[in-house]
Structure 1
Amino acid sequence: MALATRGTDHRPSMTRTLWGSTIGKKTVMAVSGLIMLGYLVAHMLGNLKIFFGPPEFNGYAHWLRTLGEPVLHYEWALWIVRTVLVVAVVLHAVCAYQLSRRDIAARPSKYVHKRPRAAYATRTMRWGGIILALFIVWHILDLTTGTAHPGGFQPGHPYQNVVDTFSTWYGNAIYITAMLALGLHVQHGFWSAAQTLGAGSATRERALKTTATALAVALTAGFIAVPVAVMTGVVS
């Protein structure tokens, strides 16, 4: 009997167990969120180079495409970063959706007593995620492919392309709205990731919440500084 069952193992793999469990999905969300957060910090710092003029900003954009040469070919490093980001965004979105469905399934009927109102950032995470997803699509079409760019896209001239976008009222409205949503998302998301990964102990709670707020404010202000500078003529 032992011989007949040898080599047959019906236990689920670790990957399947991780993906299938609630804590596993939260862990995937936390890790993918931190990857995106790291990118956002680097992206914001790169955006601020626009204040040093066209040569500095255009040179930075060119450097991104030559990063890793001669080991990597032209734009390879950039495409590696883009691929990692796409994977992180997809995993983050899928896990968020599935966890939301599980939460709804666990309480199919409304609570008899009203639950205490959660923080504003917590209650807007879902809509914030949708806003950011739509923004990413618009942002790519505007400044990467140039498909939705106002006034004619100029390949190799990112400084002028940015100025063109923020010279329109709708470009500013879309961007600033998305960045406000991003700030709320980062504030709550960083804290949630810390809790999921075991860093959110009671002794560190205040420090982590302060860090989350500081990150959210810094990213929001840093990103919004560019359209404001174009609107006010500081960058032109």
Structure 2
Amino acid sequence: MALGTRTDRRPSMARIIWDSSVGKKTVMAVSGLVMLLYLVAHMLGNLKIFFGADEFNGYAHWLRTLGEPALHYEWALWGVRVGLLAAVVLHAVSAYQLSRRDIKARPSTYVHKRLRTSYATRTMRWGGVILGLFIVWHLLDLTTLTVNENAQPGHPYENVLATFGTWYGNAIYLVAVLALGFHIRHGFWSAAQTLGVGSATRDRALKAAATALALALTVGFASVPVAVMTGWVS
């Protein structure tokens, strides 16, 4: 090879971090916390449905005009969507790659697997798949209105009622909410361990906080379809 033709380059710091298991776990933790903050805000917004159509539709309109007049209509909302999409992709890819590494490192299954892991831990992977599929459904249902047969563009309150006026809309949403609860319960505690917040003395408190947070989000999100099904919201 002639002098000056070497193309070997040292990998960048970002690449080194991404290639390491610790780096991927950190990416999972940070992206998971970003999505968790969004979920809390999203749940609080959903609960406005209990204050009537005007309140809920007004909130939906405010989301689209956020940042005006500095930003154009829906620019802020699309910024949030793009950021969330990046968080979801990073979370899913790092989770998948860590899973593959774990399988390669431990090709044989544990004999006492049930004693080593909780129910939430064993269902994290399937829970992630369920949530991924639900995100696609949720966007097609209440954002693009593609699968919502009785949808009315510009009427978010009525569209929510249309979704939860069907048995399959309720079933899909409630299954996803339960999967979310289990995912958050384990994920919140795991993220705290990865980011160095956890310790032997804080372990019980962190697990209690994770359980409380998961329960609050599960009940908060599930309350909307239940309210529509029972006629409380109509």
TM over 0.5: yes
Q: Distance in 2 between matches of 1:175 and 1:11?
A: 47
Q: Secondary structure at the match of 2:201?
A: helix
Determine the structure 2 residue equivalent to 1:211: 209
Shift of residue 107, structure 1, vs aligned partner: 1.4
Q: Distance in 2 between matches of 1:40 and 1:114?
A: 35
Determine the structure 2 residue equivalent to 1:122: 121
Over residues 22-47 of structure 1, what are the superposed CA-to-partner deviations in whole Å (9 max), with x where a residue is unaligned?
00000000000000000000000000
Over residues 40-79 of structure 1, what are the superposed CA-to-partner deviations in whole Å (9 max), with x where a residue is unaligned?
0000000000000000000000000000111111000000
Q: Distance in 1 between matches of 2:141 and 2:12?
A: 42
1:55-204 to 2 correspondences below 5 Å: 55-111=54-110, 113-115=111-113, 116-151=115-150, 153-204=151-202
4+ residue runs of structure 1 moved beyond 6 angstroms?
none
Shift of residue 12, structure 1, vs aligned partner: 2.3
Q: Secondary structure at the match of 2:72?
A: coil
Q: Distance in 2 between matches of 1:142 and 1:136?
A: 10
TM-score (norm 2): 0.95
Shift of residue 110, structure 1, vs aligned partner: 3.6
Say which is worse superposed, 71-80 or 204-213, in terms of deviation. 204-213
Shift of residue 9, structure 1, vs aligned partner: 8.2
Amino acid at match of 1:44: M
Q: Distance in 2 between matches of 1:9 and 1:117?
A: 44
1:40-59 to 2 correspondences below 5 Å: 40-59=39-58
Determine the structure 1 residue equivalent to 2:34: 35
Shift of residue 156, structure 1, vs aligned partner: 1.0
Q: Distance in 2 between matches of 1:114 and 1:57?
A: 50
Amino acid at match of 1:68: G
Q: Distance in 2 between matches of 1:203 and 1:71?
A: 48
Q: Distance in 2 between matches of 1:182 and 1:51?
A: 22
Q: Distance in 1 between matches of 2:8 and 2:195?
A: 30
Q: Distance in 2 between matches of 1:207 and 1:41?
A: 20
Q: Distance in 1 between matches of 2:193 and 2:134?
A: 28
**Residues 110 and 230 (structure 1), Cα distance of their counterparts in 2 relative to 1, 3 Å cut:** closer
Determine the structure 2 residue equivalent to 1:22: 21
Q: Secondary structure at the match of 1:203?
A: coil
Over residues 174-197 of structure 1, what are the superposed CA-to-partner deviations in whole Å (9 max), with x where a residue is unaligned?
000000000000000000000000
